[in-house]
Structure 1
């Protein structure tokens, strides 16, 4: 429930323009004593895919990439008969991981097919939308709040929090809960800080067994890479201690869900484009920032299909109450000041916080879609209305109640659909069909609720 203020320009990473000056991957690997490199990319669902490349083959990895059967990897827009996906490493994303395994490192990759960037690859999509912003002289900085639960699951499938003493009705910020998970939380914190990410807070969140670990904001691509790396780190470090870390939006019916709140700010070179001390609305935002907010609000329903992309996501945004007394998830597309009930919160004039996303969001797609929505607002000079206006918020449509509703909104929204299609056509339609099928797979499964309600009801 915290995030640093965007008061200084982000460190911009643009591997495409700095490839010639980037350090040699093989030299870095050998200097760090690395023996194996995980060559990583994600599919549209955010699944991390990798091959483990030995140091002896790192030169080939850098020059030629490494091949994957795209259809087997996941939702990548491929069929079994299609040519291989070749993952080409972005050397600037090289990350040593000695705290996971001695001699291990990771590098994020850009998927290509037959020599061309693959338009269904989330990293390629984000690059394309960032290029659109660059044409307007703008760049995007993003900070991401990573929330997750630490759980165990018994042989019967019953889910419990990993800390059996974590039973308080309002466990948020509980010092004792933090101390009991000290070894895990500090291992993650030390890992982030050793990588230069700037971990600045680690807290017990609102749900029993729920935690959040924050790191400093950066340019959008770097932050998206770090979210994927962070999820990997948290997962494997939890497993080393016999726990499961889940970023599932709503693993427990009666407890707060896990969000992935994104703090967004636009920049013109080294100058922030959002702050304006003369703002008469009192939030310290510039007219450009208000139009950016207006664009996100205008496309909120379709945006949810991207930033809340699972069946389970809508158990979080649709929750009426939790054990702690609050859901901390928005139901309408409103905005306001430092008020965590809004879809967009404005903590200060440097940034806006998009609170509709959750732990299942693909960070590349989430940043791309949010940026596209905001840019549309700027191009149309949209006015979001007065902040915190109850009447204005009430007049806005509610966020989609299910994944299927969100997918239908996506299909009808050319801006959010266009963001997914930024690197090539057909991606939005494919993504929508994947998610539509996900909804009907769930809908066609008989669950415990139905048995409890109907087994002897008639």
Structure 2
């Protein structure tokens, strides 16, 4: 799929773009990767040479519209408006420029997908999140968010017929020996993340063999999604350069604990900068606004999981008693609830954690959809009902019915049907983006249904 020369008029560069040029020259950057996340959740892109960077910062890099109809198996889907005819531009955000510590001589920027005249393209994921942030802004809110990813570290060994991931250790959950087994990799990873401006919060070996959890500090919503893209790239690339393999796939090893990317978020007053989820008078420390946000998320959750757990493999995680959530409920520090009200670490630090979320999702679509759902709860004054402060799977069917607790979709197909029926989310996605997303994901569901478990695990561990 060849890139043709841009004919768009080159506009004068703003100060941020000029700083990118200066840094590229001073730091010896030869290639600058223009990255985006597609509907399959895959991080893709093209690279500009330093010699052409000044032009590409203004015009972007030409890219076929068809790539947003490509699934994670590189199978192009028939979506009107995403065929062989038509082009968009990968237009980088200079504020996201980062030299890549794991790839000396290279840097990266996150991109919007724009039409040749510079206007937004209706299938751009980053534009979708920007529009959701705009809805928050008009309501007087800003959002801080952070993904909390887990991944499996090991080595990729040949199998019959597919490669398999062998974990680097068989240590126990939080066991000190697990720190030692992954120490050299972890230190290099932390230094790479910090160099890119991703502030590491905490780290520990998790339940699964070779499973790691390393969390990044919260940031404004767009930066949080950008951080998730950079995090995924850094985790995998750092492992590659140490002759290892790191997979953020939800279930790269069927018999081991799954890898989530729990989404933490809070709403703040745009003017006063107060945390609007915090209320010291509430037993859980959560405001009425926070409860309404929860109610909106729960109301749309069967559809939301098609976006927050965007792969066939992701639904292997969402099973009862797996601490990943399998029911539409919320609770205070309940790690089996879909939405957890986190205990405040300090006064005014209230935040929510969405458990059914993983790194196979496109973070811009995932976070944008959660914003739309939460705002719907606020606008309609929805009530989330009683908190569930036990494992919902231990409740009888009658108790779950009384509490309005329902089983989440157990397959991607079920979640996609719920998404297609959710008027609010489909309207937010828009006709082109919504049609393309459903087509791509339904094709993945069909492709993996025709194959065995080994095929599914291999293709997810190699892509995510």
Cα 1:104–1:431 shift into 2, 3 Å: same
Contact 1:260 / 1:357 at 8 angstroms: preserved in 2?
yes
Matches within 5 A, 1:378-457: 378-388=378-388, 391=399, 395-421=404-430, 425-446=431-452
Asked whether the 8 Å contact 2:92–2:110 carries over to 1, the reply is: yes
Matched length: 415
1:118 aligns with 121
Unpaired stretches in structure 1, ≥5 consecutive residues: 1-18, 321-325, 450-458
Separation in 2 of the partners of 1:22 and 1:447?
47
- Contact in 2 for aligned 1:404/1:439 (Cα 8 Å): yes
Are the counterparts in 2 of residues 256 and 328 from structure 1 also a CA contact under 8 Å?
A: no
1:54 correspondence with 2:49:
yes
Q: Does 1:130 align with 2:136?
A: no
- CA gap 1:141/1:52 in 2 versus in 1, 3 angstroms: same
TM score, norm. by length of structure 2: 0.85
Q: CA deviation at 1:225?
A: 0.7
The answer to whether the Cα contact below 8 Å between 1:42 and 1:121 also exists between their aligned partners in 2 is no
How many Å apart are 1:72 and its aligned residue? Answer: 4.3
**Cα RMSD for the two superposed structures:** 2.1
- Equivalent runs, 1:96-107 vs 2, <5 Å: 96-97=99-100, 99-107=101-109
Residue in structure 1 matching 2:16, options 22, 29, 37: 22
Q: Does 1:304 align with 2:305?
A: yes
What is the correspondence of 1:204-353 to structure 2 with a 5 Å cutoff? 204-269=205-270, 270-279=273-282, 282-318=283-319, 327-347=322-342, 348=344, 350-353=350-353
Conserved 8 A contact 2:193-2:200: yes
Counterpart in 2 of 1:81?
A: 84
* Offset at residue 195 of structure 1 (A): 2.6
* Distance in 2 separating the partners of 1:230 and 1:440: 30
Contact 1:49 1:73 in 2 (8 A): no
- 1:371 is matched with 371
When residues 222 and 447 of structure 1 are mapped into structure 2, their CA distance, relative to the original with a 3 A threshold, is: closer
Residue 147 of structure 2 is matched in structure 1 by 144
Question: CA separation in 2, counterparts of 1:233 and 1:65?
Answer: 24
- Paired residue for 2:192? 191
> Which has the higher mean CA deviation after the structures are superposed, 349-358 or 145-154?
145-154
| CA displacement at 1:105 relative to structure 2 | 1.0
Residues 400 and 406, structure 2, Cα contact 8 Å, conserved in 1: no
Q: Deviations over 1:269-327 (max 9, x none)?
A: 22221111122xx1111111110011001111000100111111111112x5xxxxx62
Q: Distance in 1 between matches of 2:29 and 2:163?
A: 39
Cα-to-partner distance string for 1:333-368 (whole Å, 9 max, x where unaligned): 111111211111111352100001112111111100
Contact 2:36 2:45 in 1 (8 A): yes
1:65 counterpart = 2:60: yes
> Distance between the aligned counterparts of 1:253 and 1:229, measured in 2?
26
Aligned equivalent of 2:164: 159
On the 8 A contact 1:149/1:161 being kept in 2, the answer is: no
Moved more, 71-80 or 112-121: 71-80
**Structure 2 unaligned residues grouped into runs of 5+:** 1-12, 72-78, 391-398, 456-464
TM-score (norm 1): 0.86
